[in-house]
Structure 1
Amino acid sequence: MEAWYMKDIQENEDQRLPHHCEPKEYVSLEKLADLGVLYWHLEGDNYETCEELERIRKERGYSYTDTITCSPGKLPNYEEKLKNFFEEHLHLDEEIRLVLEGSGYFDARDHNDRWIRIWVKQGDLIVLPAGMYHRFTMDSANYTKAMRLFVGEPVWTPYNRPYDEHPVRKEYIDNFIKKDDTSSAVEAH
């Protein structure tokens, strides 16, 4: 997994490219964790027997899984679904993905509303917290097979921005954005 601040994508630019800022600004796992993003690297080939995945599922209550393959020949209405995935949105539950094959990008907002591009590849398990604005797109390989994990019954409902008045969004802001603003203010004194 790699993460970096990305430049704004212009309408005529391919969203599947890295879109690094110049100079490049990489983002650490610690910075992602401060925003509520969790990450593990697991064995993508042996996920059925991966003890660490089982431990994570048990500790976090991930009781339901399925797989999704995103590629032009495998996902019905591929182009339309990619447009929907790339709309900035949030969920009322965590979004949990383990990349089994291929790669792709999750874009997430930081506390200053800047986009961070997170490049996930085979074996990367990422958890985006409920209430965090984010989006997904393929990279130039145009292929991702991922396990989707859920607590209880699966819910795929995206709530496109703005959705700031929902209690889940407010809870995210209180837990991660205001907390970060408070710690920055304390450090400045």
Structure 2
Amino acid sequence: MAVQAWFKDDFDEDPRLPHYRNPDEFVSMDQLAELGVLHWKLNPNDYENDEELRKIRETRGYNYMDLLDLCPEKVENYKEKLKIFYTEHIHQDEEIRYCLEGSGYFDVRGKQDRWIRILVKPGDLIILPAGIYHRFTLDTSNYVKLMRLFRGDPVWTSYNRPQEDHPARKEYLQSFLKTGVPLEAH
């Protein structure tokens, strides 16, 4: 089953709401792949023994893993953390998140700089390419448990927009937005 994605409306009230446009404008897996966004549907109940997850980690070189429980009861300065996650930014490396419990939204910028909202639920593994403008928020459940994967040592550095001169942003623009080279989506 594919991840659910749609163009987000232009309203800024409660970011935890779905923010569908009227009429709805859904986004396909192929459209996400054209932006470099990849998705796998895995079994979150057996992630320790999941052969497909092991294969993804091995193939893509993800040798570091940790778990993040994001909810008011478990995160110090919860509201401040959410504000940071929801500030539009890029990373110099891929962002890989595997939803094990709960749910939330990744917003990514599309080809015309419009927000695309991606709902992640248990079993969704999503990869955002380096240099793509994005942000994250929980939905109204206020809970998500995510596996974070990295190549080498974990780096969480965010570069808030604008970052047009950042090498990762320049490479992203060249690879995806100008040439439109799609990656294989799963």
Same fold, TM exceeding 0.5?
yes
Tell me which of the two structures has the higher relative contact order, counting C-alpha pairs closer than 8 angstroms and 6 or more residues apart.
Answer: 2
Partners of 1:41 and 1:119 in 2: CA distance = 13
Q: Are 1:6 and 2:2 matched, yes or no?
A: no
Q: Are 1:116 and 2:106 matched, yes or no?
A: no
> What's the secondary structure of 1:97's corresponding residue?
strand
Partners of 1:169 and 1:97 in 2: CA distance = 20
Alignment of 1:73-84 (within 5 A): 73-84=73-84
Compute the TM-score of the two structures, normalised by the length of structure 1: 0.93
> What's the secondary structure of 1:173's corresponding residue?
helix
What amino acid is the match of 1:17? Answer: L
| Long gaps (5+) in structure 2 | none
Tell me the CA shift for residue 75 of structure 1. Answer: 1.0
The equivalent residue for 2:60 is 60
1:112-137 CA distances to partner (integer Å, 9 max, x unpaired)? 10000000000100000000000000
1:100-151 CA distances to partner (integer Å, 9 max, x unpaired)? 1000000000111000000000010000000000000000111000000000
> What's the secondary structure of 1:135's corresponding residue?
strand
The equivalent residue for 2:51 is 51
Tell me the CA shift for residue 8 of structure 1. Answer: 1.4
Q: What count of residue pairs does the alignment treat as equivalent?
A: 180
The equivalent residue for 2:89 is 89
Partners of 1:8 and 1:135 in 2: CA distance = 15
Q: Share of identical aligned residues, percent?
A: 58
What amino acid is the match of 1:149? Answer: L
Compute the TM-score of the two structures, normalised by the length of structure 2: 0.95
Alignment of 1:110-149 (within 5 A): 110-149=110-149
Alignment of 1:23-34 (within 5 A): 23-34=23-34
What amino acid is the match of 1:96? Answer: I
The equivalent residue for 2:18 is 18
Tell me the CA shift for residue 76 of structure 1. Answer: 1.0
Q: Are 1:70 and 2:70 matched, yes or no?
A: yes
Alignment of 1:99-110 (within 5 A): 99-110=99-110
1:47-102 CA distances to partner (integer Å, 9 max, x unpaired)? 00000000000000000000101100011110000000000000000000000100
Partners of 1:98 and 1:83 in 2: CA distance = 21
Tell me the CA shift for residue 9 of structure 1. Answer: 2.5
User: Could you say what the CA RMSD is over the residues aligned between the two structures, in angstroms?
Assistant: 1.2
